[in-house]
Amino acid sequence: MEEITKLICISCPKGCSVNVTHEGETITDISGTGCKRGEDYVKKELTDPRRMVASTVRVISGLHPLVPVYTQAPLPKPRIHDLLRELRKIEIQAPVKTGQIILENALGLGINVVASRDMPKV
Amino acid sequence: MTKDLYDVVVIGSGPGGLAAAIAAKKNGADDVLIIERDVELGGILLQCIHNGFGVEIFKEDLPGPGYAQRFINEALSLGIDTLLDTMVLDINANRRLYVTSKRHGFKEIHSRAIVLAMGCRERTRAQINLPGSRPAGVYTAGTAQRWTNVEGYMPGSHFVILGSGDIGMIMARRLTFEGAKVERVLELMPYLTGLTRNYVQCLLDYDIPLQLHHTVNRIIGNHRVEAIESVQVDDRLQPIAGTEEIIPCDTLLLSVGLIPENELSKMAGVKIDPITNGPFVNDEFQTNVPGIFAAGNVVHVYDLVDWVTEAGLSAGASAARYAVAERQKEIRSIPMIAGENVRYIVPHRLDKSHMQEEDIRLQMRVRNPIEEPVWVEVHDGSNLITRKAEQYVRPGEMVTVELKPKHFAEVEKAQSLTVNIVKRK
């Protein structure tokens, strides 16, 4: 059964409305995307939706009590809450450098969680 | 250690201010200072920990603090001075800034050019006239964002968010991440006011309900918010009786618009556009006050930080050009010194370049009468440039001597000119 799924592309701030014609996971037509990245997004969204995740972890003796962190690659949507649970357990020592790995190979998915900014020690 | 005089002073270290300072330094400004009221550089980006920044400029999907970090690193590596934890109390049209901080106390700073980059402020409960009691638990979305992402406090556990602006939707997701329940997002207008992609990735992804054409009718609770009453509105945005709904919650967040922050701009005589609430600017981002520029959300509220950065780069480069021109004018402009038996000279200063084409008339009065022939001599400190004979001089009679284009070659080298009136020997 061919069906049309309406999606909104989140690859960039334009937010194109996209109509995907597909039979199960087989896509027969994509209309409304403004660029190649949009097409890639749509294909992924239908089969394996993923999101970048940003949160914070605790810091000991930093300028602030938290340091912001983010996933270096998009994470499968159903695993977001599992990742957040892991991040809540983490406490790191200041100073922290931008890009420093906070959680390596998160949930065994091959994705690292890194610090978004420097956090000086006080 | 900060100086007393700068080429360019930038007020605010958000994306607009950082870009302006960097561009100023790269375009010929020698001394550049950023004044920031927080304890660190970066501005509001530091609390915007979500990604989505830098797609246009870096072709990368960065979180706010990461985006800021790149510009902070660049600013510091360029040797830009910073005054942190410092408030600008006043600025005037002569580009004098009056600042204060716990660390350095009160200080006056003069700058050849200023870039206003104070950003914007959130509209508050008082500005949208929300009825009801005044319990704790009513905050702007940005305040909640700062607590949650920087300071480590959760503002509540059950939320209603009024306004479908980007910060509101992003906070809905963020609070959900931290274990809170976001009961509802209400939007007065019949359309989303933030970006559609934020509706998808912040609300739809987490099943957070959005109601368009709805607003908060009443806040309920004495010490703490206990519930809000929502109501549907008609096409004229008036509440429709009978559509009220009580939504239990302990916190109401407001994401109902941003207003450019221009208290300081007004002090300097900068004219404000009543539509944008930001300064009127020309294509160089110069305001109506010469030498005062403005960039970023202080001018009008942008959708994307990348565009704020671009505006900052442009304003900073313009400010540097202005400062360099000012500096050259200062070098060309030399003081006229009243020497022996001269009380004063008008003009007080001389722009040397003006001598190339026209005669410059120096007029003065003497201190004491000399009833015999005198020379009115113009020196540059060591050499006599020109002199004029007078039969006598008296305080009641103004003395005039002219500098001619033929004197330019010698005056060009002078740091100052002195006029002496002496007896002829």
Q: Which of B241, B256, B271 is the last residue of a domain?
A: B256
Look up the domain containing B182 and give its range: 124-256
Q: Do B323 and B356 fall within a single domain?
A: no
CATH of the domain at B234: 3.50.50.60
* % of chain B surpassing 70 pLDDT: 100
Nearest Cα residue in chain B from A115: B66
Kindly list the residues from chain A whose CB atom is less than 8 angstroms away from the CB atom of residue B192.
none
B50, B64, B177: residue with CB nearest A84: B177
Quick one: DSSP state of residue B234? -
Residues A96-110, mean pLDDT to the nearest whole number = 97
Which among B18, B45, B51, B198 is the top mutation candidate for probing chain A, defined by the most A β-carbons within 10 Å of its own β-carbon? B51
Which among A6, A8, A10, A36 is the top mutation candidate for probing chain B, defined by the most B β-carbons within 10 Å of its own β-carbon? A10
Kindly list the residues from chain A whose CB atom is less than 8 angstroms away from the CB atom of residue B197.
8-10, 12-13, 15
Answer for the pair B374, B421: CB distance below 8 angstroms, yes or no.
yes
pLDDT digits (tens, 9 = 90+) for B51-76: 989 988 998 889 999 999 999 999 99
pLDDT digits (tens, 9 = 90+) for B349-382: 999 989 888 999 999 999 999 999 999 999 998 8
**Which pLDDT score is estimated for B341?**
96
- Inter-chain residue contact B65 with A55, CB threshold 8 Å: no
**Which pLDDT score is estimated for A47?**
87
Q: Do B408 and B358 fall within a single domain?
A: yes
Q: Which of B210, B236, B256 is the last residue of a domain?
A: B256
Q: Do B344 and B316 fall within a single domain?
A: no
Answer for the pair B99, B106: CB distance below 8 angstroms, yes or no.
yes
Q: Do B96 and B141 fall within a single domain?
A: no
Q: Do B114 and B263 fall within a single domain?
A: yes
Residues B291-299, mean pLDDT to the nearest whole number = 98
Q: Do B225 and B344 fall within a single domain?
A: no
Q: Which of B311, B330, B349 is the last residue of a domain?
A: B330
B35 burial via Cβ count (<10 Å: 0-12, 13-18, 19+)? buried
**Which pLDDT score is estimated for B131?**
84
Measure the CA–CA gap between A92 and A57, rounded to whole angstroms: 8
- pLDDT of residue A65 exceeding 90, the answer is yes
Kindly list the residues from chain B whose CB atom is less than 8 angstroms away from the CB atom of residue A66.
149-152
Q: Do B237 and B268 fall within a single domain?
A: no
Q: How far is B67 from chain A (nearest CA, A)?
A: 8
Q: Which CATH architecture is the domain A54-115 placed in?
A: Roll (3.10)
- pLDDT of residue B8 exceeding 80, the answer is yes
Q: Do B314 and B379 fall within a single domain?
A: no
Measure the CA–CA gap between B277 and B279, rounded to whole angstroms: 7
The whole-model pTM stands at 0.88
The ipTM is 0.92
**Which pLDDT score is estimated for A117?**
97
- Cis omega before residue B190 (within 30°)? no
Position A59 confidence tier, pLDDT thresholds 50, 70, 90: very high
Looking at the structure of chain B, the number of domains it has is: 3
- pLDDT of residue B286 exceeding 90, the answer is yes
Q: Do B161 and B252 fall within a single domain?
A: yes
Residues B298-306, mean pLDDT to the nearest whole number = 94
Show me where the domains of chain A are located: 3-47, 54-115
Residues B242-258, mean pLDDT to the nearest whole number = 96
Kindly list the residues from chain A whose CB atom is less than 8 angstroms away from the CB atom of residue B46.
117
Domain A3-47 classification at class level: mainly beta
Measure the CA–CA gap between A114 and B62, rounded to whole angstroms: 11
Residues B13-39, mean pLDDT to the nearest whole number = 98
B66, B68, B196: residue with CB nearest A15: B196
Can you name the residues that pair with B160 across neighbouring β-strands?
B184, B252
Q: Do B30 and B54 fall within a single domain?
A: yes
Q: Do B249 and B263 fall within a single domain?
A: no
**Which pLDDT score is estimated for A6?**
86
Let me know if the fold of A3-47 is the same as that of A54-115. no
Position B236 confidence tier, pLDDT thresholds 50, 70, 90: very high
Q: How far is A28 from chain B (nearest CA, A)?
A: 24
B49, B199, B205: residue with CB nearest A56: B49
Maximum Cα–Cα distance for chain B, whole Å? Answer: 106
**Which pLDDT score is estimated for A29?**
84
Q: How far is B184 from chain A (nearest CA, A)?
A: 20
Q: Do B263 and B162 fall within a single domain?
A: no
